[in-house]
């Protein structure tokens, strides 16, 4: 990808699961990353039931792009007539070749994967198709999110583990998430850490601890 940012440093678990060396954390569930995304981020935000024209998803942690692909696929299956708007904040973008390797595990997403990666390969961090308008904002979200002018209908909070990547779960950043959420908008995350739930509550979300995916007993959802 572009030289304007630091790229993610990876190692591969079992040859298929990318692990961020800096955070010692995998990018997706070792059980089934796509099923985890559907459970945590789509169902956690009551999607696709809430999809409407002009719906806007925002995300902390673009990673492999799996969440975007799952949301895009759900958008298409729901029969929406307008493009899905998607904004993601990422400090350490993954190289295209690594993304392609990670996403090859889900051939059912292959058409969307190729379209996404072909557009990202230009280095512009934008994807524009008749059904998706996506922008990946590169840099420290503690700086880039407060400066953003958007308002999201739903948030995918998908940074690395709060214990290993605390910068992406702090009170100030969670407040910025709240500030950039439409009234009635939602958020979801795989973590049920008490300080994360408290920060989201302080930011204006009504927070609920619900059943997590796979080996994780609990996760968090919220509505503003």
**pLDDT digits over 8-17, tens only?**
665 556 666 6
pLDDT reported for residue 43: 97
Distance between CA atoms of residues 206 and 224, nearest Å = 6
Distance between CA atoms of residues 126 and 45, nearest Å = 24
Q: Which two tokens stand for residue 1?
A: 């990808």
> Percentage of residues in the chain with pLDDT exceeding 90?
66
pLDDT reported for residue 33: 80
pLDDT reported for residue 212: 82
Residue ranges, the chain, pLDDT below 50: 1-4
Q: Omega of the bond prior to 174 within 30 degrees of 0, cis? A: no
């Amino acid at each position: 990808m572009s030289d304007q940012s630091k790229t993610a440093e990876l190692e591969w678990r079992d040859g298929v699961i990318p692990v961020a060396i800096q955070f010692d954390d995998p990018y997706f569930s070792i059980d089934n990353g796509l099923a985890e995304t559907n459970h945590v981020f789509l169902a956690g935000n009551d999607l696709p039931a809430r999809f409407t024209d002009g719906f806007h998803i925002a995300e902390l942690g673009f990673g492999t792009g799996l969440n975007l692909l799952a949301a895009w696929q759900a958008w298409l299956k729901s029969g929406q007539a307008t493009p899905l708007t998607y904004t993601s904040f990422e400090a350490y973008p993954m190289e295209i070749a690594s993304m392609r390797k990670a996403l090859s595990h889900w051939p059912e997403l292959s058409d969307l994967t190729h379209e996404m990666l072909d557009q990202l390969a230009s280095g512009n961090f934008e994807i524009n198709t008749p059904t998706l308008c996506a922008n990946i904002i590169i840099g420290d979200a503690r700086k880039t999110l407060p400066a953003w002018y958007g308002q999201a209908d739903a948030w995918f909070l998908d940074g690395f583990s709060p214990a290993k990547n605390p910068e992406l779960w702090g009170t100030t950043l969670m407040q910025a998430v709240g500030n950039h959420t439409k009234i009635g908008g939602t958020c979801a995350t795989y973590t049920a850490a008490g300080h994360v739930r408290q920060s989201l509550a302080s930011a204006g979300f009504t927070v609920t601890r619900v059943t997590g995916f796979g080996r994780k007993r609990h996760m968090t959802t919220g509505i503003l």
